[in-house]
Structure 1
Amino acid sequence: MNLESDPSRPSLAEAQRQSYWLRTRRLTLWLLLIWAGVSFGLIYFARDLSFTFFGWPFSFWVASQGALLVYLAIVVYYAWAMRRLDAAQRELD
């Protein structure tokens, strides 16, 4: 029996596409978990940070500035990682 003609086995190109989408979904899931942790966890616990920082409560800075920096880092990392994944996929095609 010729394994290349077996219709139940995915082709090499199909396996590469499945691997690409698996890595893409995994990356997206991890970054969404970080986003959720920052959005709900960090801001929730920021209330316990009760000292002033440049005249404002530190919890204000964490909620308004720190979270935005993390969101920006998530977007930059996603763009960088997806560019690498796309380049690797184009090399395989």
Structure 2
Amino acid sequence: MSNPKGGEAYWKATLGLLTKILIVWFVVSYGAGIMFVEQLNAFSLGGYPLGFWFAQQGSIYVFIALIFYYAKKMGELDREHDVDEK
């Protein structure tokens, strides 16, 4: 990629994607697992309080989904900015 403007756009898009993913990660891990656990415990999932379930297992499922989402979106960004592996 010899175009400096194209490189800037690529990195801006990449940092935007990372910011969104980190916000979701923070909300799920800290918010659902620590800050809002009492409110979530009013509900249950599989016989366990939802706050406990989220802190123990739900956040792991979200993290795995974030990995797949990141890989998919980075592939799209790479193709869009013509930096993909051909």
Identity of aligned residues (%): 32
Letter of the structure 2 residue corresponding to residue 22 of structure 1: K
1:36 aligns with 2:35: no
The 1:77–1:54 alpha-carbon spacing in structure 2 relative to 1, beyond 3 Å, is closer
The 1:34–1:52 alpha-carbon spacing in structure 2 relative to 1, beyond 3 Å, is closer
What secondary structure, in the 3-state scheme, does the structure 2 residue paired with 1:27 have?
Answer: helix
The 1:56–1:28 alpha-carbon spacing in structure 2 relative to 1, beyond 3 Å, is same
CA contact (8 A) 2:14 2:74 kept: yes
1:47 aligns with 2:18: no
> What is the TM-score normalised by the length of structure 1?
0.72
Aligned equivalent of 1:71, options 52, 63, 74: 63
Q: 1:3 corresponds to which residue?
A: none
Displacement of 1:54: 4.0
Cα distance between partner residues in 2 of 1:85 and 1:18: 13
Cα distance between partner residues in 2 of 1:73 and 1:53: 19
Larger Rg: 1
> What is the TM-score normalised by the length of structure 2?
0.77
Q: List gaps (5 residues or longer) in structure 2.
A: none
Displacement of 1:64: 1.1
Displacement of 1:33: 0.9
The 5 Å alignment of 1:1-93 reads: 13-43=3-33, 44-48=35-39, 49-50=41-42, 53-90=45-82
